[in-house]
């Protein structure tokens, strides 16, 4: 793609109008692959030397009009972008500091603030994870350093393959992969984001800003996948999502929920479903309860009766009796001669 198409694509990826300038001009050619994973995006790009900057201060001057593009039709959606360099060199100027990255390095871009990014080599290859700011902490431009730098290359290879993957994923799988990408990004950035996240949350609450429903959905999906684990608790859930336990409780409080009550309700509902399943009638009540994370049979019985107005045993007897009354009609349909069924299907 040419430089103008390149600027338009980056505007979409960055959630911010950008302008590009390339020495090659009309001879500029770039390639890009992108994968949408729910609210998270992953891209891998190959391009010659080019300068990219936010276009907020270019609307009136149009300084790069002949070599760039302003794309007002895309809505503004500032994001964090962790760029992992596969080849070439990347230089990022933002917030009064400059970050450099060569192959095996990374830089973090915040498109909510003015920036200038330069890819300086004749050929550059960069894989980027694009995260909504509601999914990640308030961070600033930075380069990779420390022991985690050794993880950049394998993570970059994984993200590059994911960006170019043409598999038609289900929506639920896209959300799971998006969560994996987010966790990888936060791992590369280290644990310093936790305190900052809590500070940002407090500021949001003071301003009446909505919470982070996408993060809450990820957490609830995690809980549903681990309901059978009796060790499931708020501190373990928070650690799995790189947030503090206090912040976890805040997320649920915004939805008028508590963590432990929501977990108990989900476990009870699955026990109720299994107790009504005739295929599981051979399992004792306590075994079903234990399978969904209830450690004590007495505690389960009390909770079940409080929720459904009946004991687990009483509910099961009634549900299985209802199933048996419906069973003969189902068998009559399945036992009907094949020719009569075919005739019915064609009437």
Question: Are both 51 and 106 inside the same structural domain?
Answer: yes
Q: Looking at the domain assignment, is residue 265 inside a domain?
A: no
Residues 250 and 291 in one domain: no
103 and 128 part of one domain: yes
Pair 173, 197 in one domain = no
- Total number of domains in the chain: 3
Is the same domain home to 59 and 154?
yes
- Tell which of 234, 257, 280 closes a domain: 257
pTM confidence score: 0.52
Is 220 in the same domain as 183? no
- The reply to whether 44 and 129 lie within a common domain is yes
pLDDT tens for 145-171 read 444 567 788 888 888 899 888 888 887
Domain containing 125 equals 3-190
Arithmetic mean of pLDDT, 302-323? 86
- Report the CATH number at residue 58: 2.60.120.10
**Cβ neighbours for 58, distance < 8 A, ≥ 6 positions apart:** 19, 64, 68, 70
Residues 226 and 315 in one domain: no
Which pLDDT band, with edges at 50, 70 and 90, does 8 fall under? confident
User: 343 in a domain, yes or no?
Assistant: no
Residue 136: is it exposed, middle or buried by C-beta count within 10 angstroms (0-12/13-18/19+)?
Answer: buried
Looking at the structure, tell me whether residues 87 and 197 fall in a common domain: no
pLDDT tens-place string over residues 247-259:
889 888 877 789 9
Assess whether 51 and 151 both reside in one domain: yes
**Residue ending a domain, choose from 190, 211, 237:** 190
Q: Looking at the domain assignment, is residue 342 inside a domain? A: no
Banded model confidence at residue 50, pLDDT cuts 50, 70, 90: confident
pLDDT per position as a tens digit, 233-279: 999 898 888 788 888 898 888 777 899 999 999 999 999 989 988 88
Residue 339 covered by a domain: no
Instruction: Check whether residue 201 and residue 311 sit in a common domain.
Output: no
Under the banding of pLDDT at 50, 70 and 90, the label for residue 77 is low
347 in a domain, yes or no?
Answer: no
**198 and 165, same structural domain?**
no
């Amino acid at each position: 793609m040419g430089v103008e198409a390149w600027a338009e694509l980056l505007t979409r990826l960055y959630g911010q109008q950008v302008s590009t300038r390339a020495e090659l001009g009309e001879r500029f050619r770039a390639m890009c692959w992108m994968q949408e994973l729910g609210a998270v995006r992953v891209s891998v790009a190959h391009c010659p030397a080019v300068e990219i900057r936010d276009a907020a201060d270019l609307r009136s001057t149009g300084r790069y009009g002949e070599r760039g593009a302003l794309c007002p039709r895309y809505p503004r959606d500032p994001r964090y972008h962790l760029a992992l360099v596969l080849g070439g060199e990347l230089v990022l100027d933002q917030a009064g500091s400059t970050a450099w990255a060569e192959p095996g390095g990374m830089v973090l871009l915040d498109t909510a603030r003015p920036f200038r990014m330069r890819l300086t080599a004749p050929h550059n290859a960069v894989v980027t994870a694009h995260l909504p700011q509601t999914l990640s902490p308030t961070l600033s431009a930075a380069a990779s350093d420390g022991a985690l730098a050794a993880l950049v290359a394998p993570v970059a290879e994984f993200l590059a393959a994911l960006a170019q993957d043409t598999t038609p994923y289900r929506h639920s799988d896209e959300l799971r992969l998006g969560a994996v990408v987010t966790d990888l990004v936060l791992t590369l950035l280290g644990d310093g984001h936790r305190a900052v996240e809590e500070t940002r949350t407090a500021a949001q609450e003071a301003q009446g800003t909505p919470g982070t429903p996408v993060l809450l959905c990820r957490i609830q999906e995690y809980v549903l996948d681990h309901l059978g684990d009796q060790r499931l608790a708020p501190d373990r859930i928070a650690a799995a999502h790189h947030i503090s336990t206090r912040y976890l409780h805040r997320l649920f409080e915004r939805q008028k929920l508590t963590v432990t009550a929501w977990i108990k309700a989900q476990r009870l509902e699955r026990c109720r479903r299994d107790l009504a399943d005739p295929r599981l009638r051979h399992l004792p009540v306590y075994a079903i309860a234990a399978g969904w994370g209830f450690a004590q049979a007495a505690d389960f019985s009390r909770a079940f009766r409080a929720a459904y107005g009946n004991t687990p045993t009483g509910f099961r007897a009634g549900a299985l009796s209802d199933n048996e009354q419906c069973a003969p009609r189902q068998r009559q349909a399945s036992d009907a001669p094949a020719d009569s069924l075919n005739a019915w299907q064609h009437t």
